[in-house]
Amino acid sequence: SFPTRRSSDLARQIRQGMSEREVIALMGKPTRIQPSPIGLVYIWGHLNAVTGSVKTTSVIVNDGVVAADPIILGDRSLPLNIY
pLDDT at 54: 78
pLDDT at 1: 42
pTM equals: 0.75
* CB contact at 8 A, 41 and 33: yes
Write out pLDDT tens, residues 11-60. 999 999 999 999 999 999 999 999 999 999 999 987 777 777 778 899 99
Q: CA-CA distance, 72 to 61, in Å (whole number)?
A: 15
Taking the chain, what is the end-to-end CA distance rounded to the nearest angstrom? 26
Of residues 26 and 78, more confidently modeled = 26
Write out pLDDT tens, residues 56-74. 899 999 999 999 999 888 7
